[in-house]
């Protein structure tokens, strides 16, 4: 099992005390899924993601991980307790508030 480049960058960006205790470092494949040469059934994926979310729920690096995930928008994996698909549904505040702010300034 290896960690993905995005997850390694996350660990580099976290404060040292959070990076040392980040839950994803113990089993990176739990959070990112199997590599390209292994297949995962939808049931296996859902079960893996549920376990990964439980690990994230108790992780001291969760807020830092969430900020990172919202910035880089990963395409796969579980980040701060959210799947990449769930994170894609989150619209950054700047995207939703920018039109309103611009119209008020005019």
pLDDT in tens, 90-105: 876 655 554 554 455 4
Per residue in 23-71, pLDDT tens?
A: 777 787 888 888 766 788 999 999 999 999 999 999 988 988 888 888 8
Query: By three-state DSSP, how is residue 82 classified?
Result: strand
Segments in 5-57 forming alpha helices (H)? 5-13, 16-21, 28-32, 42-57
Structurally, how many domains does the chain consist of?
Answer: 1
φ, ψ for residue 41 (rounded to 5)? -70, 160
Distance between CA atoms of 26 and 55, rounded to whole angstroms? 10
% of the chain with per-residue pLDDT over 90: 25
DSSP structure class, residue 23 = G
Structural domain span for residue 40 = 5-105
Tell me the pLDDT tens digit for each residue of 66-86.
888 888 888 888 999 999 999
> 7, exposed or middle or buried, with CB in 10 Å at 0-12, 13-18, 19+?
buried
């Amino acid at each position: 099992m290896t960690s993905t480049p995005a997850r390694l960058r996350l660990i580099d960006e976290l404060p040292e005390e959070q990076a040392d205790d980040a839950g994803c470092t113990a089993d990176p494949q739990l959070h990112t899924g199997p590599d390209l040469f292994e297949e995962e059934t939808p049931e296996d994926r859902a079960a893996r993601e549920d376990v990964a979310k439980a690990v994230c729920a108790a992780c001291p690096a969760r807020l830092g991980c969430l900020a990172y995930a919202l910035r880089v928008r990963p395409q796969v994996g579980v980040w701060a307790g959210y799947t990449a698909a769930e994170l894609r549904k989150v619209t950054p505040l700047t995207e939703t508030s920018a039109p309103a702010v611009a119209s008020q300034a005019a």
